[in-house]
Amino acid sequence: MVDLTINTDVARQILTGFIRSEITRVGFSRAVIGLSGGIDSALSCVLAVEALGAENVLAVRMPYKSSSSDSLDDADLLIEQLQIPSKTIEITAMVDPLFGLDPEISKLRKGNIMARERMIVLYDQSEVFKGLVIGTSNKTEILLGYSTQFGDAASAMNPLGDLYKTQIRQLSRAMNVPGPIIDKPPSADLWQGQTDESELGFTYEQVDQVLYLMVDHRYSPQECVEAGFDEKFVDIVLKRIRRNQFKRMQPPIAKISNRTVGYDFLYLRDWGT
């Protein structure tokens, strides 16, 4: 059994400091978060409130007509606990016309459209509230590509991206995220009955251990098998990591000049930062 236990006090200090630093160094003092009622967005929200103050964090709920009422209730639970400003903006009328263009549209396409529409709403509210959008994707999702590019994967910064899902749960408990949010099955709530683990085909506890060995400790696939993990499972995880590398990168730029953004021009060394 791989131990993914973290020092939650240290993680809390690092992540609140990260949010405060990244927000203020570019001239902002506020943040906007899409609050789904799930554990990841709840933790990002709690961290942002501790870093910036409750009055400086806007929680935006963006339900679709089939969204679970439990998700809305759980988001409300956190809003009430933190006493933060909030908005509810339903996306049904925004996405249904696009769905209607193709009678055979798949659930996956609908889910991607909803995720991208929610990001449109968040960035619009970012301008209204004058705050930066804080991300909610954890390390497990990022490595597996379990996100929508330019949808839920988009943000101005992401405090959770180096925490595995099991570590998200640890820190959430330490920061008093409401129990119903921590304990319910993880779900993007894209359609009725949808859960993360049913889509992935394995649990977060299982995959986090393999990811931790592969990524953090540079285990080879064979070493993971020798550590006791099923060979087919290790192969599935490895292929997902490789296949989704493009989601973890900025779009590559064809190099023409001596200094190309993302290659030779990486830091603002000469612009006072």
- Asked whether residue 194 carries a pLDDT value surpassing 90, the answer given is no
Residue with tokens 């550590």: 227
Angle CA(33)–CA(208)–CA(160) in degrees, nearest 5?
A: 20
pLDDT score, position 220: 97
- Asked whether residue 216 carries a pLDDT value surpassing 90, the answer given is yes
Instruction: Give me the domains of the chain, ranges plus CATH numbers.
Output: 8-248 (3.40.50.620)
Residue 183 or 31, more confident: 31
Q: What is the dihedral of CA 175, 178, 179, 184, to 10 degrees?
A: -110
- Of 162, 133, 164, 117, whose CA–CA distance to 2 is shortest? 164
Angle CA(16)–CA(17)–CA(22) in degrees, nearest 5?
A: 105
**HSE-up (13 A, CA, CB side) for residue 39:** 25
Separation of alpha carbons 178 and 184, rounded Å: 11
- Asked whether residue 270 carries a pLDDT value surpassing 60, the answer given is no
Query: Mean pLDDT throughout 214-224?
Result: 97
Query: Mean pLDDT throughout 206-233?
Result: 96
- Asked whether residue 100 carries a pLDDT value surpassing 90, the answer given is yes
pLDDT score, position 192: 66
**Under 8 Å between Cβ of 27 and 159:** no
Q: Which segment of 59-73, 132-146, 181-195, 197-211 scores lowest on mean pLDDT?
A: 181-195
For residue range 103-160, list pLDDT tens digits in order: 999 999 999 999 999 999 999 999 999 999 999 999 999 999 999 999 999 999 999 9
pLDDT score, position 95: 98
pLDDT score, position 17: 98
pLDDT band at 200 (very low <50, low <70, confident <90, very high): confident
pLDDT score, position 261: 86
Q: What percent of the chain has pLDDT over 90?
A: 82
pLDDT score, position 149: 94
pLDDT score, position 190: 63
pLDDT score, position 101: 98
Q: Where are the alpha helices (DSSP H) in the chain?
A: 8-24, 39-52, 69-82, 92-99, 107-129, 139-144, 165-174, 179-183, 196-200, 204-211, 221-226, 231-243
Query: Mean pLDDT throughout 64-72?
Result: 90
For residue range 109-122, list pLDDT tens digits in order: 999 999 999 999 99
Roughly what angle, to the nearest 10 degrees, separates helices 8-24 and 165-174? 90
**Under 8 Å between Cβ of 181 and 80:** no
pTM, 2 dp: 0.91
pLDDT score, position 60: 98
Q: Which residue type occupies 131? A: G
Separation of alpha carbons 167 and 176, rounded Å: 14
Separation of alpha carbons 262 and 251, rounded Å: 9
pLDDT score, position 265: 80
